[in-house]
Amino acid sequence: MQTGFCYISCIVLIITILNKIVIANEIKYVQFKPQSNSLLLAKELTTNAIHVVHFQSVLLIKASERDFPFNIPSNSTVNYIRYPQSYGTTMVQFGSDMYKTFMGTYSAMQYIQLAVERVPNYIKNILRLLTTEPSAMIQRLLATSLNSMARLSNENSVLITKTIDQLTNLLSFSNEINQYSINLSSEFNGLSSDKTDLMLYNEFNSKKLLEKIPTIIHRMKKQFEQVPEFIMSLDIKAKFNLTIHDKITSFIPALYTVESNSYFLHHLSSICNEILRRYVLDQTASIGRHLILLTDEERSKALAKISQEFENILHNIKTLFIEREREFEINNMALQQAYEKLRNEYQERSSNLLASE
């Protein structure tokens, strides 16, 4: 986490800028309430991604027992299944699409993380221009800064929309697999009476896992659909209907919302990137290896291994979130206090100007 993104260092500059204020207008009291943003969204997103990878790994291990075709009526049209004669190959295909989706998510969140790191400098520049003697040049520069924020918002909105579209396609694929899958219970349970095989099936019921995966992907899609609201708020001119002629009292609460949301987006994207990189992408890229297991003993060992890894990962990210949530709350409170100080300084200096007239 880059400490320079905590915004506290910019407050000294902001207060210095306020010495230049020469306008004296009625000051509206603005309350800066703590934003409702929390890291619960990041925690849910990443945990769901880890669950999907784990469940798909289990399905591939189970698919290594025996291959069989899908039950697709002759008058039906499939949109995603490319190998209807092979359940196992289709599971590999789904794993490949899942990897592409998570890699696309990683790329989008990495771009967002780098983009929102520019927001504090934009805000510094906007405040400097707002507190400078009005002129045609100042108005042009302020318009340029506001347009830069709008461009940043629009570019990142496009990326999130693409991520949501990828999850939508993955969800449709998983629903299609469920629609045309045969009775997996009879296929897998009919293989043998070996106790190990029955134990594996009872512990990891393939039919139930197939039903869980689209549910989790749907949940992830809904969670990502919350992100555009934060991104669109970065377009301060459109979101808050501000113009270059508005007073600083109109900009201060808007800037607080923008900075708070950008800080949230930075945390969200950096956490998603870290967890995807450490626990999701490599595991998904190599997920097809589970299909080549030959014996029940190999399957039993593979299931035990990925189950232990799954538990370890959940423990690790629980510790990570405790640390990041503490950092997020402390810095969010500091940001709120900084803007309250800014508001109070502006109110005091403007009141003094009124009294001196």
Q: SS3 for 203? A: helix
Angle at 209 between CA 205 and CA 210, to 5 degrees: 120
Task: Locate 113 and state its tokens.
Answer: 């993380």
pLDDT of residue 170: 97
Residue with tokens 């924020």: 149
Query: Which pLDDT score, from 0 to 100, does residue 261 have?
Result: 92
Comparing C-alpha atoms, which of 63, 91, 20 is closest to residue 200? 63
Comparing CA positions, the residue from 275, 305, 312 lying closest to residue 290 is 305
- Predicted pLDDT of residue 351: 59
Q: How far apart are CA 53 and CA 55, in angstroms?
A: 6
Residue 39 is given by DSSP the state T
* Torsion sign, CA atoms 91, 96, 97, 101: positive
Q: Report pLDDT digits (tens) over 10-40.
A: 443 443 433 333 333 333 334 444 445 578 8
Quick: pLDDT tens for 141-160.
Answer: 888 988 999 999 999 999 99
Residue 336: the pLDDT is 87
In order of 237, 251, 258, 340, the CA distances from 30 in angstroms are 19, 11, 15, 8
- 146 backbone dihedrals φ, ψ, rounded to 5°: -65, -40
Q: Identify which of 44, 55, 30, 10 has the alpha carbon closest to the alpha carbon of residue 250.
A: 30
The amino acid present at 95, given as its one-letter code, is G
Residues of the chain with pLDDT under 70: 1-37, 182-204, 347-357
How far is the C-alpha of 6 from the C-alpha of 34, rounded, in Å? 15
* CA dihedral of 199, 204, 207, 210, whole degrees rounded to 10: -160
